[in-house]
């Protein structure tokens, strides 16, 4: 009876894994529109970057498809720092289209700077780079902006076919920041219920192995 229970729990976990992907890996990969601005960091060939002080990514009402992917990483967008001195604000409006069966409960963004030895590293206070407090999200959500990070939470979770618009601003203190570029790392996360089922399946695997 105990073996049957363990196998049953494991089977449930495997089904969830197959349907939802390796959720614990997090992470996403974008669908159509993976051109300029969606390049993984490459110090030798940075490719195109977003330029200017007003950037619109995706079309309003017809956003870029985004799906949780077991082998995907965060969306990485690279921006060129406008030339000049003094502070400059880069206004960014992004439009996403939720794809796949996994509802999103939250979305996270981080500012990063390139370092030849360490690669992309998190921006910290004093770098001269930060998100402004004004962040507008559709559909409505709880938003927390704290310098180098933005955290967005939806309740109830948003589901497949939802159009998402996120508008924010990045302030660059050009008299402080010596870098000529920066990046924003972004990713959504699934609802806790999905993670719970996945954990249940993995727990079943552990139980089964111990009882052998």
pLDDT for position 206: 45
Q: For residue range 15-46, list pLDDT tens digits in order.
A: 333 333 222 223 333 333 333 333 333 333 34
- Give me the count of residues in the chain: 212
Task: Name 190's bridge partners.
Answer: 104
Task: Name 111's bridge partners.
Answer: 184
pLDDT for position 202: 42
Q: For residue range 49-81, list pLDDT tens digits in order.
A: 888 999 998 888 888 888 766 566 677 888 989
Burial (Cβ within 10 Å: 0-12, 13-18, ≥19) of residue 97: buried
How much of the chain exceeds pLDDT 90, in percent? 40
* Contact predicate 157/104, CB 8 Å: yes
* Contact predicate 113/179, CB 8 Å: yes
Mean pLDDT for 85-111 is: 92
Mean pLDDT for 149-166 is: 94
pLDDT for position 74: 76
pLDDT for position 42: 38
pLDDT class of 117 with cuts at 50, 70, 90: confident
pLDDT for position 48: 63
pTM (global) more than 0.85: no
Q: What is the CATH number of domain 28-191?
A: 2.60.40
Q: For residue range 2-14, list pLDDT tens digits in order.
A: 444 333 433 433 3
> For 62-76, 94-108, 127-141, which range has the lowest pLDDT when averaged over its residues?
62-76
Q: For residue range 158-204, list pLDDT tens digits in order.
A: 999 999 999 999 999 999 999 999 999 888 877 554 444 444 444 44
Euclidean distance between CA atoms 15 and 1, whole angstroms:
21
Mean pLDDT for 113-124 is: 89
């Amino acid at each position: 009876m105990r073996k049957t229970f363990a196998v049953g729990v494991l089977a449930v976990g495997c089904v969830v894994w197959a349907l939802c992907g390796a959720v614990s890996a997090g992470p996403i990969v974008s669908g159509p529109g993976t051109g300029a601005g969606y390049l993984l960091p490459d110090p030798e060939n940075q490719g195109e970057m977003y330029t200017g002080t007003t950037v619109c990514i995706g079309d309003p009402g017809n956003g870029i498809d985004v799906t949780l992917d077991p082998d995907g990483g965060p969306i990485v967008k690279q921006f060129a720092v406008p030339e000049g001195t003094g502070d400059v604000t880069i206004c960014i409006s992004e439009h996403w289209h939720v794809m796949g069966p996994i509802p999103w409960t939250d979305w996270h963004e981080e500012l990063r700077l390139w370092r030849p030895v360490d690669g992309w590293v998190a921006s910290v206070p004093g770098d001269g780079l930060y998100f402004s407090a004004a962040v507008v999200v559709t559909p409505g959500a709880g938003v927390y902006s704290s310098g180098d990070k933005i955290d967005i939470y939806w309740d109830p979770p948003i589901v497949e076919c939802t159009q998402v618009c996120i508008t924010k601003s990045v302030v660059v203190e050009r008299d402080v920041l010596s870098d000529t570029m920066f990046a924003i790392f972004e990713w959504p996360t699934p609802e806790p219920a999905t993670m719970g089922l996945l954990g249940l399946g993995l727990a079943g695997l552990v139980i089964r192995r111990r009882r052998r």
